[in-house]
Structure 1
Amino acid sequence: MELRSVEELMDLLHACRGAWDTPDRSGDPVDLHDHALQTAALLRRGHPADKELQVAGLVHDIGQLLRPGDYAGHADLAAEAVQPLLGERVSRLVRLHVAAKRYLATTSPGRGLSAQSALTLTVQGGAMTPLEAASFERDPYAEDAITLRQADDAGKVVGLDAGVMEDWRTVLELVATWHSRLKAEDRPTTRGR
């Protein structure tokens, strides 16, 4: 699935209400909707000027809605879905949020993960090897992916008011417009001679 409009993305994000990371609700204590809002709000608070990072936090787990139970592939699925609409950086950060979890499991093994995140870490490849960690560190988006991951881990608080999904429509439109303009600038012109 490729998302082509902010309206399609908003519909998908609204569909996250009542959708959980596990079918039997034994996983994280908030649904995908509240988790998305909390993650994005944490990123907005910590990085108010970085709209792409905030949006990546908002959409990072939509792959769990698109293909429930695919813990190993949900990041790639979400990244592919949002790339045409939100651009390379948002897509790359979404793709890297699982790698960032694996990296942090290597570099900070005592840091707290939710029980569900600890469980899915195993199917996602576990802690990185030293070679994998060195490769991750060379990625130009590694630091931002770690920031996203930290917000992801913190955005699982029952009852926390993180606003409403409609509050993000304008930010999504802004990022989509930036991406659309960049694509237009990169297209070769076909002017006559």
Structure 2
Amino acid sequence: MTAHSVDELMDLLHACRGAWDTPDRSGDPVDLHDHALQTAALLRRRRPADKELQVAGLLHDLGHLLRPGDDAGHADTAADAVRALLGERVARLVQLHVPAKRYLAAAEPGRGLSPRSDLTLGVQGGPMTAEEMAAFVRDPDADDALMLRQADDEGKVVGLDAGELEDWRPVLEHLVAARAGAAR
């Protein structure tokens, strides 16, 4: 599934209300909707000028909605769904949130993950090897991917008000318009 418009993307995001990272709800304590809003809000606070990073935080787990149960491939699925509409950087950041988890698991072995993230780490390749870590840090998007991952880990608080989904529509519209303008 590829989102071809902001309306289609918003429909997907609205469908995240009541959808979970696991079909049986045994995963994280908030639904994909609340998790998306919390992750994006954390990134907005940390990097107010970086709308692409914020939007990547909003969209990073769409793959759980599009392909339920595909923990290993959910980041690629989400990146593929948004690449044509929002561009390569947003898609890469979405895609890199799993390698960033693997990097952090290797770099900070005692770092806490949610029980579900800890469980899925294995199917996502486990902690990176030294060679994988060296390659990851050379990626120009590595620092932003790590920031996204940290917000991802923190954005799982039951009952936290992180705003309204519709507040993100103008941000998405701005990014799409900027891409269209740059393509001319």
Structure 2 residue 99 is the aligned partner of structure 1 residue 96: no
Structure 2 Cα separation of the partners of residues 182 and 133 of structure 1: 34
What is the CA distance between 1:90 and its match in structure 2?
0.2
- The amino acid that maps onto 2:75 is A
Structure 2 Cα separation of the partners of residues 144 and 18 of structure 1: 28
Alignment of 1:1-193 (within 5 A): 1-184=1-184
1:108-146 CA distance string (max 9 Å, x none)? 111110000000000000000001111101100000000
Structure 1 Cα separation of the partners of residues 123 and 115 of structure 2: 14
Structure 2 Cα separation of the partners of residues 174 and 86 of structure 1: 10
- The amino acid that maps onto 2:106 is T
- RMSD across aligned C-alpha pairs, in angstroms? 0.6
What is the CA distance between 1:181 and its match in structure 2?
2.1
- The amino acid that maps onto 2:134 is A
Structure 2 counterpart SS, 1:161: coil
- The amino acid that maps onto 2:169 is R
Structure 2 Cα separation of the partners of residues 74 and 175 of structure 1: 23
- The amino acid that maps onto 1:112 is G
Structure number with larger C-alpha Rg: 1
- The amino acid that maps onto 1:92 is R
What is the CA distance between 1:183 and its match in structure 2?
2.7
1:51-91 CA distance string (max 9 Å, x none)? 00000000000000000000000000100110011101000
Structure 1 Cα separation of the partners of residues 5 and 33 of structure 2: 19
Structure 1 counterpart SS, 2:7: helix
What is the CA distance between 1:179 and its match in structure 2?
1.8
Structure 2 Cα separation of the partners of residues 73 and 180 of structure 1: 29
Structure 2 Cα separation of the partners of residues 91 and 28 of structure 1: 23
What is the CA distance between 1:175 and its match in structure 2?
1.0
What is the CA distance between 1:177 and its match in structure 2?
1.2
Structure 1 counterpart SS, 2:167: helix
Unaligned runs of at least 5 residues, structure 1: 185-193
Structure 1 Cα separation of the partners of residues 159 and 179 of structure 2: 34
- The amino acid that maps onto 1:95 is Q
Name the TM-score, length of structure 2 as normaliser.
0.99
1:7-47 CA distance string (max 9 Å, x none)? 00000000000000111111100000000000000000111
- The amino acid that maps onto 2:173 is E
